[in-house]
Structures are given as C-alpha cells and as structure tokens.
C-alpha cells in the first residue's frame, strides 16, 4: 500500500507540474567538512564558526577561498550571523578587513552541473552594516572550469540574514565551475544555500487547494462514469 501511495504521489506531482531531479543538490554549509589554513579539519554544525578557512566540501562540491595573503578574518564558514544557521562569509581584498580575491566552487569529480540559484546574505562596502549601493561584486560561470564564460553583476545586499535569492539564467547550465570576485571597495560578502541541478521554486498549491484538485478530479471521473452508465441503460 505504501508503494502504491508513493507512486500516486509522484504521479500527482508530475500532474501538477513539479519536476524532480535525481541529481539535485543543496549546499547549505551544514554537515560539511571545513579545512583550515593550518590543515586541521572541522565539521559545520549550525553552532560553531570557523575562521581562516582554506576550503570547504559538501555534497560532492568544493568551495575554495583564494587569497591575496592578508591573513585572518577573511574566510569564514559557520554560524557567523547567529540564529543557528551556517553560512559562508568573506572579506575582500578591496575592503578593509581581508585579502580575498576569489571564491571558487567546483565539483569534486570535475563533471558539469547547473547552478540554478543561491541566497546572497551580504554584499556591502560597510562592514557589518547597510549596503551603499556602490558595491560591484560578480558571479562568473565557467564551461571549462578555468576561464570565465559569463559574468553577472550581483545586487548590493545589507549585512546578515535573511538574504536574497539570486536566480540565474541558462549561462550557468552545464558548467564546471563558478566563482565570485569584487572590483571596487567591497568589505563583506556572504552567502547561504546553493541550489544545484534543481529548478527554481514554483508556487506550490496549499494543501486545501491540492485536496480540492483531487476532489474535483474524483467528482469529474464519477460524473463521467455515471453518464456512461445512463447512456448504456437507455440504449
């Protein structure tokens, strides 16, 4: 019975227009492995904050901090904003607090993937505060994993949660890497979840709406069956 209900549920999702990807990955910076600049490894847990991060691995992906050599307080992963929500946060070499030149994300097996959207939590030239609107940070797509095939200017974003969902176009499909850079004086840059090989969210019907659709469908089927029976009896 459970198997039948599962099959019915999947068919219903397909009927209502939902798509399910077997390769869908969400990187939310919780439960992954942090490798620090000194070589030690830690696990994110929605509580701790790790500074001086060399790179981070989760869900078959690697996020690499590339630095110009400024040292500490430039590459952070963990519960940085508080509230029990792990994020990535960094300080660009263009600002006053760090020396980051690039944040790069690749797949560990070097295969291609689609980056569909992510959550931007900070993009401000005022450390720990409101954005000025003058920030120029970019996201780059790379088909070969080495050279930039497309770049997109990101919106300014005040420091901290909840952040803004950034939806990306087809330029970020079938890529082998993506990375972030900054051109002018940007201090703080942070992100939350990355959604990979997963379509952007659509408007999901309320449970009552779904039940209504099922009810209407059942009534329609019953009505059709009754009409067929009536015609059969009268003929």
In the structure encoding, which two tokens stand for residue 212, read together?
A: 């209504």
Report the CATH number that the domain containing residue 173 is assigned in CATH: 2.60.120
Number of domains the chain is built from: 1
**Distance between CA atoms of residues 140 and 62, nearest Å:** 16
Answer whether residue 72 shows pLDDT above 70: no
Asked whether residue 211 is assigned to any structural domain, the reply reads: no
**Distance between CA atoms of residues 97 and 187, nearest Å:** 7
**Distance between CA atoms of residues 176 and 107, nearest Å:** 7
Asked whether residue 228 is assigned to any structural domain, the reply reads: no
Average pLDDT over residues 14-27: 62
Asked whether residue 212 is assigned to any structural domain, the reply reads: no
Q: Give the range of the structural domain holding residue 110, as residue numbers without chain letter.
A: 25-196
β-pair partners for 123: 157, 189
Tens of pLDDT, residues 174-206: 999 999 999 988 899 999 999 999 877 764 444
Sequence-distant contacts of 37-45: CB under 8 A, at least 24 apart: 44/77, 44/78, 44/86, 45/86
Q: Which residue has the higher pLDDT, 226 or 113?
A: 113
Asked whether residue 179 is assigned to any structural domain, the reply reads: yes
> How much is the pLDDT for 165?
96
pLDDT band at 8 (very low <50, low <70, confident <90, very high): very low
Asked whether residue 144 is assigned to any structural domain, the reply reads: yes
Asked whether residue 207 is assigned to any structural domain, the reply reads: no
Q: Which residue has the higher pLDDT, 126 or 199?
A: 126
Asked whether residue 94 is assigned to any structural domain, the reply reads: yes
> How much is the pLDDT for 127?
82
Asked whether residue 3 is assigned to any structural domain, the reply reads: no
- The order of strands in the sheet holding 150-153 is 41-43, 33-36, 53-58, 61-67, 100-107, 177-182, 137-142, 150-153
């Amino acid at each position: 019975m459970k198997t039948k209900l599962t099959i019915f549920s999947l068919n219903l999702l397909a009927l209502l227009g939902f798509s399910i990807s077997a390769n869908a990955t969400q990187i939310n910076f919780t439960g992954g492995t942090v490798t620090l600049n000194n070589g030690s490894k830690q696990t994110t847990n929605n509580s701790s904050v790790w500074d001086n991060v060399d790179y981070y691995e989760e869900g078959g992906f690697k996020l690499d901090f590339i630095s110009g050599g400024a040292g500490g307080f430039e590459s952070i992963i963990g519960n940085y904003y508080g509230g029990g929500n792990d994020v990535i946060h960094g300080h660009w070499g263009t600002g006053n607090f760090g020396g980051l030149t690039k944040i790069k994300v690749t797949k560990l097996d070097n295969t291609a993937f689609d980056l569909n959207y992510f959550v931007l939590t900070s993009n401000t030239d005022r450390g720990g505060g409101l954005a000025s609107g003058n920030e120029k940070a970019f996201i780059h797509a790379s088909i070969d994993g080495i050279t930039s095939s497309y770049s997109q200017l990101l919106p300014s974003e005040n420091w901290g949660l909840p952040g803004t969902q950034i939806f990306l176009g087809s330029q970020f499909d079938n890529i082998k890497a993506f990375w972030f850079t900054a051109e002018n004086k940007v201090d703080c840059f942070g992100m939350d979840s990355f959604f990979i090989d997963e379509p952007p969210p659509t408007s999901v019907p309320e449970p009552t709406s779904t039940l209504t659709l099922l009810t209407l469908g059942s009534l329609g089927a019953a009505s059709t069956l009754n009409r067929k029976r009536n015609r059969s009896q009268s003929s």
